[in-house]
Amino acid sequence: MGDALTHSTWVEADATLGRIAAEARTLIGEPGSGGGDPGWRETLTAYLGAAGTFWNEADELLQASLTLVGVFVLRTVILPVLVLLALWKILRSLTEV
C-alpha cells in the first residue's frame, strides 16, 4: 500500500539525487580512464568542481534527501501504525456488539 502511494515521489527524488551525483562523477572522472594518472592539480580541480556542483545544487540535494527520508518514515512507521490502529478499532467495535 505504501509503495503505491509514494512510488512517484520516491522515483522523482531518487532521480534528482542520481542526476546530481552523475554531474559530480562526470567532473571527477573515472580513475585511470584518461590513460594515465592525473596530477594533483587536475585531481584538485576535478574535486573542487564536484564540490561546486553539490554547492550549487544544495537546495535540490537537501529537498530530495529529505523527501526520501520522509517517504521511508511514512512507509516504515506511519502507515503500519495507521493500519494497526484501524484493525484495533475494528476489533474493538466487534467485541462491543
Whole-number pLDDT of residue 84 = 96
- Break the chain into its structural domains and give their ranges: 2-96
Whole-number pLDDT of residue 96 = 80
Whole-number pLDDT of residue 4 = 86
Band (pLDDT 50/70/90 cuts) for residue 70 is: very high
Q: How many residues does the chain have?
A: 97
pLDDT digits (tens, 9 = 90+) for 15-64: 999 999 999 888 887 665 555 677 888 889 889 989 999 999 999 999 99
The C-alpha atoms of residue 97 and residue 95 are separated, in whole angstroms, by 6
- Looking at residue 39, its amino acid is G
Whole-number pLDDT of residue 30 = 66
Whole-number pLDDT of residue 97 = 66
